[in-house]
Structure 1
Amino acid sequence: MRFVSLSSGSSGNSTYIGSAGTHILIDAGCSRKRIIDGLNSLDVDLPDINGIFITHEHSDHIAALRLILKKYDIPVYATAGTIQGIRASDKNHEMDDKEFHVIRSDEPVLVGDIKVNPMRISHDALEPVGFRIECEGRKAAVATDLGCYDDYIVGCLQDMDALLLEANHDVRMLQTGPYPYQLKMRIAGNEGHLSNDMSGELLCKLLNDHMKGIVLGHLSDKNNLPELAYETVRLAIDMGDNPYHSGDIPLYVAKRSEVSQVIEI
């Protein structure tokens, strides 16, 4: 199974997961061209995609969906709330005749040989989810737009071989940055985004001996820096109450406008 971020950040998100015979996308929030170019770099084409799973209806997760569905008949999987949000955002009703497959938290969906299990997340959307993916005993997860985490999230993300985890903002940069006060409070709130510090704290609860790679994603372009996210999480691992050091498991930062490190599981 291959696990790779095609684009990740506050301006657009899309992740590819594929086996020899099955290919899926988690979100389609960057441009269609960027998704196509990213897939092509992996020797995959958009018509090869067997399903698109949407975490929630915010534009940085669905921006390319309308254009993709206009040209390709690819099944889309989302919660009922997310589908409602997608349809509400489709001002020209171009997706009205498209069939969306309703999914529910903790009810796995099988697409080819890939099992996708949605998990509840805390974010200011109608019915947002993250995704755990399993294929031939290997496990990966996409966990962004978390806002906060609890024992349920920790339980869902145990025993992963690869993980894309949100490290959206540095708390100090957010506090002193250009955003209005209400937006700052939304981002820092329990239905907002996970900070670098919280990402490192959560990660320390999830590390295991067979992890092949960790990708930090959904970085803010105004309130974070890739180097800062990396160093904050690296130090959290080294100083945290866990038996691991930061060099034990590959740690990457997802790129905003190009394919990130491919993790082979």
Structure 2
Amino acid sequence: MQVKTIETIQIQQPNLIQTDQLGFSILASGSSGNCTYIETSQQKILVDAGFSGKKVEGLLAQIDRKMDEIDAIFVTHEHSDHIQGVGVLSRKYNLPVYANQKTWLAMDKNIGIVKDENRRYIEADHMLTLGDLDIMPYNVSHDAISPQFYAFQKGQKQFVMLTDTGYVSDKLRQLLVNADAYLIESNHEIEMLRYGQYPWSLKQRILSDKGHLSNEDGAFAMLDMIGESTRDVYLGHLSRDNNTKQLAMSAMEDILSQNDIDIQNTIKLHMTDPEIACPIRLI
């Protein structure tokens, strides 16, 4: 009997990025694992690696990129769906890993040995510049030791990541306003979560200020942050059990359109996936 092999999904991607461009791909996003790719003409980095090293390599292959091209890994927080492959990838490819001091302490026992020279520290509200890429970390409200996400800027172009937070403060909405592109959390549909099979303690955690944004929460946060420069919004970190892509997209479309945001011509909404990488978006 002839056994059919499964071909790796591959998306046609630009091989050369122009010097004034910022590129990114949400390689995977969801409750099972998270990984995002950022590139400029001088830098290629990952944010989180919440899968095995082999799977991260496969996700990069989908966008025609390779792990041996990566310059660094940035970590948002110590939960397993964000750090599973961090240690093994750092060791295999001799990569520096950036996280804040408290996150390093919390994740050390779970990622294995990382060379001293590859243990890098980046604290909230202190911008780091790597080559032609500026990276601004900021705290979010989540049940981790010191969770922080990142805004990436190249010249006047900016991509903002904002998931794994129970709410978005007014201060954060003002700080992150008018980026060119966003990854925003649309974790759960509230009624699905409330009437689902999760234990009550877990439901309370998800619904709390240190949990996750609901579809509506994410949409209202975007409503305050979208500006004249904004062109792309990616919906991410969907729960496998308490959401669907259709419900998440519908909530975002309804809330933005009801508030006179042009989602037909000006703003493009994108859905992420836990298994299939989004095509590289150049801004």
TM range (shorter): over 0.9
Determine if contact 1:81/1:127 at 8 Å carries over to the other structure.
Answer: yes
For the pair 1:151 / 2:155, whether they are aligned, the reply is no
2:10 corresponds to: none
1:218 aligns with 2:254: no
Q: Determine the structure 2 residue equivalent to 1:246.
A: 263
CA-CA distance at 1:98 after TM superposition = 6.3
Q: Which residue of 2 aligns with 1:52?
A: 73
Identical aligned pairs, as a percentage?
33
Tell me how far apart the structure 2 counterparts of residues 225 and 150 of structure 1 sit (CA, whole Å): 26
> Counterpart of 2:137?
118
- The aligned residue for residue 61 of structure 2 is 40
Secondary structure of the structure 1 residue equivalent to 2:225? coil
2:195 maps to which of 176, 181, 184: 176
Q: In the aligned structure 2, how far is the partner of 1:155 from the partner of 1:100? A: 31
Deviation string, structure 1 residues 160-202 (Cα, Å, up to 9, x no partner): 0111010100000100111100000000100000000100111
Q: Distance between the aligned counterparts of 2:65 and 2:109, measured in 1?
A: 31
Aligned to 1:189: 208
What is the rounded CA distance, in whole Å, between the counterparts of 1:202 and 1:182 in structure 2? 26
CA gap 1:55/1:47 in 2 versus in 1, 3 angstroms: same
Paired residue for 1:102?
121
Aligned residue identity for 1:17:
I
Q: 1:147 to 1:154 in 2, by over 3 A?
A: same
The count of residues paired between Structure 1 and Structure 2 equals: 261
Structure 2 CA distance for aligned equivalents of residues 27 and 98 of structure 1: 19
Q: Structure 2: where are the runs of 5+ without partners?
A: 1-21
Whole-Å Cα distance in 1 between the matches of residues 52 and 245 of structure 2?
22
Q: Secondary structure at the residue paired with 1:52?
A: strand
Per-residue deviation at 1:156?
2.1
Is contact 1:170–1:223 with CA below 8 Å preserved after alignment?
A: yes
User: Over residues 79-134 of structure 1, what are the superposed CA-to-partner deviations in whole Å (9 max), with x where a residue is unaligned?
Assistant: 111101111324xx433756311111110111221111001100010111010100
Write the deviation string for residues 3-42 of structure 1: whole angstroms up to 9, x where unpaired.
1100100000000110122101111112322321222333
Instruction: Report 1:120-139 matches (<5 A).
Output: 120-139=139-158
Instruction: Note closer, same or farther for the CA distance 1:113–1:96 as it changes in structure 2 (3 Å cut).
Output: closer
In structure 1, the residue matched to 2:40 is 19
Match of 1:255 among 262, 269, 273: 273
TM-score, length of structure 2 as denominator length: 0.88
Distance in 2, matches of 1:70 and 1:11, equals 23
Verify: 1:71 aligned to 2:71, yes or no.
no
* 1:7 aligns to 2:21 (yes or no): no
Residue identity matched to 2:180:
D
Q: Is contact 2:63–2:277 with CA below 8 Å preserved after alignment?
A: no
Equivalent position amino acid for 2:262 in 1 = H
* 1:45 partner amino acid: K
In the alignment, the residues of structure 2 paired with residue 158 and residue 211 of structure 1 have an alpha-carbon distance, to the nearest angstrom, of 9
Match of 2:110 in 1: 89
Deviation at 1:264, TM superposition (A): 1.3
Asked whether the 8 Å contact 1:215–1:253 carries over to 2, the reply is yes
2:238, 2:250 → 1: CA distance? 14
Identify the range of structure 1 (148-157 vs 124-133) with the bigger mean alpha-carbon deviation. Answer: 148-157
Separation in 1 of the partners of 2:56 and 2:118? 21
SS at match of 1:205: helix
SS class of match (1:182): helix
What is the letter of the counterpart of residue 79 of structure 2?
H
2:16 maps to: none
Q: In structure 2, how many angstroms separate the alpha carbons of the residues matched to 1:98 and 1:58?
A: 23
Query: Gaps spanning 5+ residues in structure 1: where?
Result: none
| 1:16 and 1:25 in contact (8 A); partners too | yes
